Structure 1
């Protein structure tokens, strides 16, 4: 009986094995066809991914567009960090030139020795002087002066080697300007500018927003060299910070909407690498020029050739389509194809249309009413705030490493380049979401540990701060690419403006908390915001290898992992070798055949078992 059972098993095993192998192969083919159909749906949903393939994914036109963003972003870095070099420390002394009326041949050392009181350590006081008298020089030398008074005729800087804002506007003693106030004014401008230019770019277009930003760099950047008071300087810094953030938001959106796939992330990251080029240019120029006005004149002069952007900068075709300007979008695309020496098929170009019902007016209120945008923006706001807050804390701690301002600016800026470039590898290998979680968690952890580190462990503390900044710069690079891909075209720059707003708030918050003696608040906010941001990161969808989407209704489809329809659909979109209709029919036929085959096979096996 056992032998009969084994004999039946040996007879049926090859047949079942062959059937199972055939079945697995059949389902593998079906799975491949389903993946192909999904790819067709994705490309059909994003007509621009299809058209830009015909225009040229990264041809001469796109390379020129990306290169055009490099010069303004370098100048933006120059105007952003120039404060570090125009507030160089100077040793002031009260102007006591009154004694020269009775002793015109006195040297500077003798003049200071006779007219200035000294501190207990022997150095001269900077904010007090002896009260002027009408005595003779011999009497002053013999009896000395006793009555002190605050500086009455201004200050002198006998040992200053360069002209800075401090000795230009006498920002000493009771006029001493707080560095935190200057930085707060600058970041307040970024906060306001992110709202204004985010709105302008979405309403008027990327092209006019960029031109307005460049005009702001000319007026408030180059024009800073001609200010006549410190309050005017603060006003111009407030204006130039708005122009800087306006250009960053608009240029990133414009470049990303002209590119597809991996080229989009590469362009955004390379553009920010040129931010480091601007810092290197600033450091070299500040080291060479001894006058702060010359620094603004020479460093700001390259902004004038950017006037030619009026004629050479294109508008975003995606934005034009969302505003119903179909003919303008076609002209821009045809010009790009001409530069790339490509030809767009007429049949494909004719399909580029949008119905009037899809031309919708979006506003910032949609970030609250739209369920997808509400979830995504909430997560991004928390992450952007935490990255900016923690990086500002680490940057403040780094000031204690070196008193040389050139070294403090140059070395960390150069180290940021590998962080930016390394993100390209991360984004391509593990995607946007995992890259953000990895870099963000590492940066926040190092920042939190550095806040509790003992000051005596200076070498370990230095490494923590440097690697913490490195990780947070990488997370900022990933976050910028991720944010562009998560937001729809109609509200892309408005959304980028909102996240930039909260990042500016994070920097201002860190400046406020650092100035306090309490060390518990910075640590608590760092831990709380990092934990909350990490939890919210898991709510974000993955956008790697996904096309950009344009309209508001389409954004809700991402919550169910469906690609949104960017433009009006057509039924006869083809790609490569098969059409959507062909793939669908193939799958249906294959499924039917598989069903019939399985039914017949099971019936035959039943009869064979009965016969046996």
Structure 2
């Protein structure tokens, strides 16, 4: 197998055209980032005075039939509109978590769409559906309709999180993937901050949903702006289309187009993918190496998600201005992107991820022994733990995309993301055990286990992305390196 990367050799590792696609996807993903972080604004815990007879305007009194909500911070929310208080607080919790169920379904659905029908249709569908579903959620009259919309929003979130990343990875050369891992997260960090600014001025939840969705219906024009992945086209035996797209991008990047057809023919012959059959999630378990990678990757994603969302529960309990707190939460994650780029650029993949998990685990262990009256120090180690889990999560996207061949790459990431949702589901229950040191010890132990599991996966730094299952099974990388 050639060590030369088809993309890097023909269109450059990451030229002007790929930068343009990154900008488009960063902008198009904002509704997804808003929905991942807007729970604090649209389904918040609320303060109210109970105006029932004989209650004497008691604050947060239950049961209460006539609450008067505090509107000094948020004028209208899902919580206040449908009175999700007292014995209805479970509905508020479900409204928060149902999006995770949608992400699980969307990861599987769009992962299959992407591998079966192409990266481009999966990206376009998920971006457009995200804006549409959020806009619909802003006008529904019934709570159950809102819940259904939240599920649909989650399916689109799952699609954009996976499919946009894979398209960018497959359009970039192998030497640029370390940088792309951090650049891809710009939308999450900036979206987190932008949301707080928008929410400060738009304090009605319905208007907030409309403002953060309707403008993005314009992503429909991406149909004419975003290309199909040449790597995927080759795996499907669509050589002419792959050559046409590579020539177009090469011209945009001011690169020579003279040898593109020869290079593609050589790559096609090496990968032997002319007669590639449609794939499914069953292909993740049919061959020995892929099967081992699938099981370990799924567990690592689940443990990483469990740790990240669990620790985030503690960070989310900061006192003070809600809008400022959201901005500060985003700011604490920003340095992690620099660490990710440094780690993926100068360290091996496994080494970098194992270090991130270990930092998370160790900081949480130290957190247990910090006296509760030293709040600043507790917050410091909690943030270090959160950053360790976050950087692990970011790097897992790159590591997993390199582990699996093009033909099942999205399916593998969708399957792993499904397990990540399970980890996120369980995290709140661990947080609410009631004994803080037990909760933190569980999160720390899980992070240690994730680090250990990563050891049993092959190193992938600087490899050429494999296209076929056969290549993955016979390549020189061993299970343990």
Q: TM-score under structure 1 normalisation?
A: 0.72
Distance 1:340 1:246 in 2: 29
- Structure 1 pair 517–89 and aligned structure 2 pair: CA distance change class (3 A): closer
Partner of 1:481: 398
Equivalent position to 2:213, from 294, 300, 307: 300
Distance 2:200 2:435 in 1: 37
Q: Give yes or no for contact 1:93–1:127 (8 Å, CA) kept in 2.
A: no
Shift of residue 373, structure 1, vs aligned partner: 1.4
Partner of 2:372: 455
Structure 2 counterparts to residues 371-390 of structure 1, below 5 A: 371-390=288-307
Equivalent position to 1:192, from 72, 87, 105: 105
* 2:69 aligned with 1:69: no
- Structure 1 pair 519–266 and aligned structure 2 pair: CA distance change class (3 A): same
Distance 2:317 2:47 in 1: 20
- Structure 1 pair 397–560 and aligned structure 2 pair: CA distance change class (3 A): closer
Shift of residue 397, structure 1, vs aligned partner: 1.5
Equivalent position to 2:16, from 60, 78, 99: 60
Equivalent position to 2:152, from 236, 239, 247: 239
Q: Deviations over 1:6-48 (max 9, x none)?
A: xxxxxxxxxxxxxxxxxxxxxxxxxxxxxxxxxxx533xx5xx
Q: Give yes or no for contact 2:107–2:159 (8 Å, CA) kept in 1.
A: yes
Partner of 1:491: 408
Structure 2 counterparts to residues 34-53 of structure 1, below 5 A: 42-43=2-3, 49-50=5-6, 52-53=8-9
Distance 1:219 1:304 in 2: 7
Distance 1:356 1:470 in 2: 41
Structure showing greater Rg: 1
Q: Deviations over 1:289-317 (max 9, x none)?
A: 12111111112123122110011110011
Equivalent position to 1:343, from 242, 245, 256: 256
Q: Give yes or no for contact 2:234–2:274 (8 Å, CA) kept in 1.
A: no
Q: Give yes or no for contact 1:205–1:319 (8 Å, CA) kept in 2.
A: yes
- Structure 1 pair 449–378 and aligned structure 2 pair: CA distance change class (3 A): farther
* 2:334 aligned with 1:417: yes
Q: What is the alpha-carbon root mean square deviation over aligned residues?
A: 2.5
Structure 2 counterparts to residues 92-491 of structure 1, below 5 A: 92-93=48-49, 115-118=53-56, 123=58, 126-127=61-62, 151=65, 154-157=66-69, 162-177=75-90, 179-346=92-259, 347-351=262-266, 353-354=268-269, 355=272, 359-451=276-368, 453-491=370-408
SS at match of 1:345: coil
* 2:473 aligned with 1:556: yes
Shift of residue 225, structure 1, vs aligned partner: 1.2
SS at match of 2:347: helix
* 2:429 aligned with 1:504: no
Shift of residue 407, structure 1, vs aligned partner: 2.8
Q: Give yes or no for contact 2:360–2:444 (8 Å, CA) kept in 1.
A: no
- Structure 1 pair 95–118 and aligned structure 2 pair: CA distance change class (3 A): closer
Partner of 1:23: none
Partner of 1:515: 432
Q: Deviations over 1:489-542 (max 9, x none)?
A: 011011111111111111101122333436686456435533432222112222
Between stretches 358-367 and 79-88, larger displacement belongs to 358-367
SS at match of 1:401: coil
Shift of residue 288, structure 1, vs aligned partner: 1.0
Distance 2:243 2:284 in 1: 30
Q: Give yes or no for contact 1:440–1:472 (8 Å, CA) kept in 2.
A: yes
Between stretches 297-306 and 483-492, larger displacement belongs to 297-306
Distance 2:293 2:89 in 1: 44
Between stretches 505-514 and 363-372, larger displacement belongs to 363-372
Distance 1:349 1:254 in 2: 19
Distance 2:354 2:47 in 1: 47
Q: Give yes or no for contact 1:394–1:465 (8 Å, CA) kept in 2.
A: yes
- Structure 1 pair 156–533 and aligned structure 2 pair: CA distance change class (3 A): closer
Distance 2:283 2:263 in 1: 32
- Structure 1 pair 514–178 and aligned structure 2 pair: CA distance change class (3 A): farther
Q: Give yes or no for contact 2:114–2:410 (8 Å, CA) kept in 1.
A: yes
Partner of 1:25: none
Q: Give yes or no for contact 1:382–1:529 (8 Å, CA) kept in 2.
A: no
Q: How many residues align?
A: 474
Distance 1:235 1:476 in 2: 28
- Structure 1 pair 358–173 and aligned structure 2 pair: CA distance change class (3 A): same
Q: Deviations over 1:175-211 (max 9, x none)?
A: 3345532332121111111111111111111111111
Q: Tell me, which stretches of 5 or more residues in structure 1 are unaligned?
A: 1-40, 97-114, 129-149, 563-612
- Structure 1 pair 321–289 and aligned structure 2 pair: CA distance change class (3 A): same
